[in-house]
């Protein structure tokens, strides 16, 4: 069975750089990505629940970005309506200094954010939903098959 991963689109390069620097100091430390969507990321949550292995997550730089520039390990997706006030305070400490507060519907808890040695084209990733190569997109988070060279 092929391994799956998540591709997170529309990420600011400066946020990715900040998180790679944070994780370089402490790889196991969590950081929180806040995807731009009001919808619950059900396919990503489902993947996490069904996966017997750590789920790799890859980050696309820029709006309609064409390149994946970093990777990490996705630990959980928290859905804002289910998050306590106390938990929101904890999440506040894990978001990027470039984020304007806690604003998202979904919070992706990630560790081990590292830059790729060379960027990967988004087209190297094949979507689980329809078996087609990924294209530059605004879809926030997409479940894909993990490309062999990035496994």
Which is nearest to 59 in space by CA: 27, 93, 107, 19?
Answer: 19
Angle at the Cα of 118 (from 113 to 123), degrees rounded to 5?
90
pLDDT class of 1 with cuts at 50, 70, 90: low
Q: What is the pTM of this model?
A: 0.95
Can you tell me the mean pLDDT for 2-7? 94
The DSSP line for 82-149 is G--HHHHHHHHTTS-TTS-SS--SEEEEEEEEEEEEEEEEGGGSEETTTSPBP-S---SEEEEEPPGG
Backbone angles phi, psi at 104, to 5 degrees: -85, 165
List pLDDT tens digits, range 39-68.
899 999 999 999 988 999 999 999 899 999
pLDDT category of residue 149 using cuts at 50, 70 and 90: very high
Instruction: Return the half-sphere exposure (C-beta side, CA atoms, 13 A cut-off) of residue 59.
Output: 30
């Amino acid at each position: 069975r092929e391994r799956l991963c998540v591709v997170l689109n529309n990420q600011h390069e400066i946020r990715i750089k900040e998180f790679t620097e944070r994780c370089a100091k402490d790889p196991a430390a969590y950081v929180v990505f806040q995807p731009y969507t009001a919808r619950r990321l059900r396919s990503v949550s489902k993947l996490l629940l069904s996966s017997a292995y750590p789920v790799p997550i890859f980050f696309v730089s820029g709006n309609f970005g064409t390149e994946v520039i970093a990777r990490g390990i996705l630990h959980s997706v928290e859905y804002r309506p289910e998050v306590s006030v106390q938990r929101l305070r904890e999440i506040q400490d894990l978001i990027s200094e470039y984020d304007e507060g806690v604003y998202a519907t979904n919070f992706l808890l990630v560790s081990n954010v590292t830059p790729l040695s060379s960027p990967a084209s988004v087209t190297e990733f094949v979507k689980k939903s329809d078996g087609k190569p990924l294209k530059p997109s605004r879809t926030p988070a997409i479940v894909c098959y993990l490309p062999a060279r990035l496994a």
